[in-house]
Structure 1
Amino acid sequence: PASEYLFTSHFGRPLDPDNTSHAFQAFAARAGLGRRHVHELRHAAASLMLAAGTPLPEVSRVLGHSSTRITDEVYAHLGHEALRGAVDRLAGVLDPPKT
């Protein structure tokens, strides 16, 4: 049957957060990833979206943040890598390698 929830139990009810966390931690341990938390998947998804150039407002909406300010504050450190790449590419254009 259809449900308003994306992930549900076998009975169509929302998943219990504690059970979900325990199951994820067990899965991560079996996979040799050490102690991991399910929330890290959210952070990884946001990081990958931003690294791929997804505009901040879109990432913010996906994460369900009430404003882009929250997203920017949490993930601001990711922008430094992108900026470094942009500056390096600009330097390559202004000072191309000598052949």
Structure 2
Amino acid sequence: MAPLRLKKHPDRELMGGDVLAQSLHALGVKVAFGVHGGHLDAFLMGASDVGIDLVDVRHETVAVQAAEGYAKVSGKVGVSFITANSGQVLQE
């Protein structure tokens, strides 16, 4: 495999999320399923920049199941992303 050549966005600095998105894109990832959150902004912007489609779901389990189903049906890599502190809210 050829070395990954990172591309810097013209309007912002290169961040870890950009590196992750560009690495996934280089591996052929076309879609990712997940629960978004603020700390994922760099990855979400990086994924959008390289053309990875982002599918927002309502629960962490659904993200993983969607990525697994996508992988089984398409034969491609299934990717999920999860934010911190998401999911159900417990009431007392």
Calculate the TM-score normalised by the size of structure 1: 0.31
Q: Which has the higher contact order (CA 8 A, sep 6+)?
A: 2
More strand by share: 2
* Higher CA-based Rg: 1
Calculate the TM-score normalised by the size of structure 2: 0.32
